[in-house]
């Protein structure tokens, strides 16, 4: 029988070994992502944060967790919470009036879409979706949701896929605050009034800058219909919401800009599968929805983020559908809109 001292030494050795193993994994992580921590205090704090994230990932991925998605480390694993939150700067355009579902503008004119909606949709297969982009450390998510849906709508109308400039919206759509926040409805209005330049003519720098708009280089102008530059599928009153059937009917026409709550480790560490049990619905992040699958074992919305292809499932996240008039996982069913489309596009 082992002595008490021998047993204690073995347990201590095992604890030290586990701690060393975790630090080795942490060092491998920071080497992979090119992190450079200047002081011991910063290194120690980042290691503690990474360990917290690592423990959360283990909980999600445990076989008995009941989760329908898988979590993993990514470039945000050493971010302190306030650093991560800086990328979520969605601004509310309109104060909520009540907590009841609204009559969606799309279906005032197109209620037949509800009976003709495909069960699945993936707009990436149509050649009208640009590759996943990366907003960097600038809180410009709203410009990416605006631009990506405009690119696809224009491609659907003309057959030409252009890569448009988010930086133009950051610098020139002054009704909003650039890297410090905005939203897509008035950004579409800006494009209607001014047109949007190509990314190649107005490159993204992930920082606020001086407006360098050149009207002669504007390639796309959204033709407003009935005085509006966007169509609301969900409704961007924050507390209002749509059903999966209504949202699918809209997204079957074209990809939509949407709002979600991206705070917390559940969203941050998403890797693959369908994310459910995301109960925070206070909207703070703009992204794009370009597909869905209502026939999957866990029905989902296919959502394209602007954090680069290294995050999530090659830049995407699948958010589980919530039946009825519910706010949805991470609030996904509250705010679903896309730019209007007409016959007279400029190019």
Known catalytic residues are 141, 285, 305
Assign 3-state DSSP to the chain and report helix, strand, coil percentages, each to 5: 35, 15, 50
271, containing H or E segment: strand 270-275
Using DSSP's 3-state secondary structure scheme, residue 338 falls into: strand
Distance CA(339)–CA(347), nearest Å, equals: 16
Backbone angles phi, psi at 228, to 5 degrees: -115, 140
Distance CA(210)–CA(170), nearest Å, equals: 9
Closest CA to 57 of 85, 29, 33, 96: 29
């Amino acid at each position: 029988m082992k002595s008490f001292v021998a047993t204690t030494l073995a347990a201590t050795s095992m604890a030290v070994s586990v701690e060393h193993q975790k630090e080795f994994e942490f060092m491998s992580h920071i080497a992979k992502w090119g992190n450079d921590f200047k002081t011991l205090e910063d290194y120690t704090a980042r290691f503690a944060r990474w360990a917290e994230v690592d423990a959360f990932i283990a909980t999600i991925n445990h076989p008995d967790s009941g989760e329908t998605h898988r979590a993993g480390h990514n470039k945000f694993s050493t971010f302190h919470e306030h650093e991560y939150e800086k990328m979520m700067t969605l601004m509310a355009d309109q104060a909520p009036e009540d907590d009841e579902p609204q009559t969606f503008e799309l279906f005032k004119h197109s209620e037949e879409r509800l009976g003709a909606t495909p069960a699945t949709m993936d707009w990436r297969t149509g050649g009208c979706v640009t590759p996943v982009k990366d907003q960097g450390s600038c809180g410009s998510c709203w410009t990416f949701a605006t631009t990506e849906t405009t690119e696809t709508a224009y491609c659907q109308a003309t057959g030409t896929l252009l890569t448009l400039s988010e930086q133009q919206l950051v610098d020139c759509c002054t009704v909003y605050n650039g890297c410090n926040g905005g939203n897509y409805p008035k950004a579409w209005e800006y494009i209607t009034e001014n047109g949007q330049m190509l990314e190649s003519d107005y490159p993204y720098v992930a920082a606020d800058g001086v407006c360098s708009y050149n009207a002669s280089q504007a390639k796309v102008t959204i033709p407003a219909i009935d005085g509006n530059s966007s169509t609301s599928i969900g409704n961007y009153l924050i507390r209002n919401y749509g059903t999966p059937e209504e949202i699918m009917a809209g997204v079957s026409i074209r990809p939509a800009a949407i709002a979600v709550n991206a705070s917390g480790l559940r969203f941050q560490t998403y890797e693959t599968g369908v994310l459910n049990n995301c109960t925070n619905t206070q909207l703070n992040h703009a992204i794009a929805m370009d597909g869905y699958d209502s026939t999957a074992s866990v029905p989902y919305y296919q959502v394209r983020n602007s954090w680069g292809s290294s995050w999530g499932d090659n830049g995407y996240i699948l958010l589980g559908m919530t039946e009825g008039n519910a706010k949805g996982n991470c609030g996904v069913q509250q705010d679903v809109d896309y730019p209007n489309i007409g016959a007279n596009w400029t190019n």
